[in-house]
């Protein structure tokens, strides 16, 4: 199966009992669209792992495209071993029946997601230094992904994991996609509350959609509740414009789903009025225009992120920015700056609030 990453994925089927012998389920962690997720013990190493079971009807179309994308992308990144990206450890095929097969993705086990981590924090919430440290790790992960021209496209607290030692790991790459100058990214998914304005308007988009999601999550770390809680795409845009102002007509994208005059005039405001702790750096993540959104953070006296391996293809353009009083010293090179290499994207008007609509993104399904 061609997954659009320049590779074809074939998952070998080991003997039926191999996976069941090696991995002993301990507890169910959740149930998704294609199967369940379990905490399990690896009998060979004694370590805990997370098993993501995917049901595949026998004789059908094969693995769900989201699973194929996730495996192919994580296999592509495997040799780089970034500390803030969840690690795929194994892929097993087992439990075959006349009508169904089961493919199991084996991930490193992480104790909790960011949503749970925030809920468990005693009042008044996480200390600012903890939030700063988590954001540094989060931005390093995004810097790494975008340097590899990977757009995650579904960042939300449930897809960001936090270990007991405070290490952050970005997970759930089922909707991620590698982009290029020649690729049209087709219908996107991002849970509604974390969706960038250009996606809500079904305008052109690229890696800055991830940075908007990061900005929403950053604010949520302080607020302990989502920043924008719309019930539809139009309502979500209205709540965004109520906070940051309605863009000038010269800045309104052409040929989009909703005209500017569909929204009531709103004077520009600063997100810091709602979340004072954001600072200038946090506000850079919540700019309406994607090509001006959060490309570089940090003042010149702080070191940038650790050097990354050379990307394939070449790293997107980096652009400069200003001071970062709130996060001090986190540099982003996410390809969000002005560039002719911004693939066009159109969103779907059928996404439920907080839900998903799987986009094709050039994948042969």
Q: Which domains does the chain have, with CATH numbers?
A: 18-108 (3.30.200.20), 112-292 (1.10.510.10)
More confident residue, 263 or 323: 263
Task: State the pTM of this model.
Answer: 0.72
Q: What is the pLDDT, as a whole number, of residue 173?
A: 78
Q: Does 186 score more than 60 pLDDT? A: no
Question: What integer best gives the mean pLDDT of the chain?
Answer: 72
Nearest in space to 109 (alpha carbons), one of 142, 87, 92, 93: 87
- Say how many C-beta atoms besides its own lie within 10 A of residue 229's C-beta: 13
Q: Does 41 score more than 60 pLDDT? A: yes
Sign of the dihedral defined by the CA atoms of residues 218, 223, 227, 231, in that order: positive
Q: What is the pLDDT, as a whole number, of residue 343?
A: 34
More confident residue, 265 or 122: 122
Contact assessment for residue 324 and residue 280, using Cβ atoms and an 8 Å cutoff: yes
Q: Are strands 100-108 and 160-162 parallel, antiparallel or unpaired?
A: unpaired
User: Which residues, at least 6 apart from 237, have a Cβ–Cβ distance to it below 8 Å?
Assistant: 197, 200, 201, 230, 258, 263
More confident residue, 52 or 268: 52
Q: Helix/strand/coil (H, E, C) string of the chain?
A: CECCCCCECCCCCCCCCHHHHHEEEEEEEEECCCCEEEEEEECCCCCEEEEEEEEEECCCCCCCHHHHHHHHHHHHHHHHCCCCECCEEEEEEECCCCCEEEEEEEEECCCEEHHHHHHHCCCCCCCHHHHHHHHHHHHHHHHHHHHCCEECCCCCHHHEEECCCCCEEECCCCCCEECCCCCCECCCCCCHHHCCHHHHCCCCCCCHHHHHHHHHHHHHHHHCCCCCCCCCHHHHHHHHHHHHCCCCHHHCCCCCCCCHHHCCCCCCCCHHHCCHHHHHHHHHCCCCCHHHCCCCCCCCCCCCCCCCCCCCCCCCCCCCCCCCCCCCCCCCCCCCCCCCCCCCECCCCCCCCCCCCCCCCCCCC
Q: Is 154 a catalytic residue?
A: yes
Q: If you average pLDDT over residues 66-74, what whole number do you get?
A: 75
Most confident of 50-64, 100-114, 133-147, 288-302: 133-147
191 pLDDT band, cuts 50/70/90, is confident
Cα separation, 106 vs 114, whole angstroms: 20
Q: Does 192 score more than 60 pLDDT? A: yes
More confident residue, 275 or 186: 275
Q: What is the pLDDT, as a whole number, of residue 62?
A: 63
More confident residue, 193 or 317: 193
- Say how many C-beta atoms besides its own lie within 10 A of residue 111's C-beta: 13
Q: What is the pLDDT, as a whole number, of residue 157?
A: 95
Query: Of residues 113, 143, 154, 172, which has the active-site annotation?
Result: 154
Share of the chain above pLDDT 70, in %: 66
Only one residue has tokens 């049901």, namely 55
Residues forming beta bridges with residue 112, ordered by sequence position: 162
Each residue's pLDDT tens digit, 9-32: 444 444 444 556 789 999 998 876
Q: If you average pLDDT over residues 298-322, what whole number do you get?
A: 32
Q: What is the pLDDT, as a whole number, of residue 361?
A: 19
Q: If you average pLDDT over residues 272-278, what whole number do you get?
A: 79
More confident residue, 325 or 133: 133
Nearest in space to 107 (alpha carbons), one of 138, 152, 67: 67
User: Which residues, at least 6 apart from 60, have a Cβ–Cβ distance to it below 8 Å?
Assistant: none
Q: Radius of gyration over alpha carbons of the chain, in Å?
A: 21
Each residue's pLDDT tens digit, 82-140: 999 999 888 887 656 767 777 888 899 999 999 999 999 998 999 999 999 999 999 99
Share of the chain above pLDDT 90, in %: 29
182 pLDDT band, cuts 50/70/90, is very low
Q: What is the pLDDT, as a whole number, of residue 32?
A: 66
Q: Does 359 score more than 70 pLDDT? A: no
280 dihedral zone (left: phi>0; alpha: psi -120 to 50; beta):
alpha
């Amino acid at each position: 199966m061609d997954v659009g990453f320049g590779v074809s994925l074939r998952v070998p089927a080991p003997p039926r009992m191999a996976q069941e012998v090696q991995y002993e389920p301990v507890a169910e962690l959740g149930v998704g669209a294609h199967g369940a997720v379990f905490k399990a013990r690896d009998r060979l190493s004694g370590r805990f792992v997370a098993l993501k079971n995917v049901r595949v009807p026998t004789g059908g179309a094969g693995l769900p495209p989201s699973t194929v994308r996730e495996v192919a992308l994580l296999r592509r990144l495997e040799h780089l071993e970034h500390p803030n990206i969840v690690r795929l450890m194994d892929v097993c095929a087992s439990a075959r029946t006349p009508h169904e097969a089961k493919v199991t993705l084996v991930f490193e086990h992480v104790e909790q997601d960011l949503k749970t981590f925030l809920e468990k924090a005693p009042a008044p919430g996480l200390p600012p230094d903890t939030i700063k440290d988590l954001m540094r790790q989060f931005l390093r992960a995004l810097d790494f992904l975008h340097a590899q021209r990977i757009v995650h496209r579904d960042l939300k607290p449930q897809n960001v994991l936090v270990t007991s030692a405070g290490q952050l790991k970005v997970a759930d790459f089922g909707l991620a996609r590698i982009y290029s100058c020649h690729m049209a990214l087709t219908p996107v998914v991002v849970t509604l509350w974390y969706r960038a304005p250009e996606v809500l308007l079904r305008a052109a988009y690229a890696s800055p959609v991830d940075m908007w999601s990061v900005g929403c999550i950053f604010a949520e770390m302080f607020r302990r509740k989502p920043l924008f809680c719309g019930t539809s795409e139009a309502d979500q845009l209205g709540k965004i414009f109520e906070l940051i102002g309605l863009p000038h007509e010269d800045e309104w994208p052409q040929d989009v789903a909703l005209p500017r005059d569909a929204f009531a005039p709103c004077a520009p405001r600063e997100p810091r009025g709602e979340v004072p702790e954001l600072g200038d750096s946090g506000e850079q993540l919540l700019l309406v225009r994607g090509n001006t959104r959060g490309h570089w953070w940090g003042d010149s006296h702080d070191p940038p992120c650790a050097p990354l391996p050379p990307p394939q293809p070449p790293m997107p353009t980096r652009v400069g920015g200003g001071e970062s009083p709130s996060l001090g010293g986190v540099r982003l090179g996410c390809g969000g700056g002005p560039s002719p290499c911004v693939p066009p994207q159109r969103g779907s008007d059928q996404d439920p609030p907080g839900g998903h609509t799987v986009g094709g993104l050039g994948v042969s399904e």
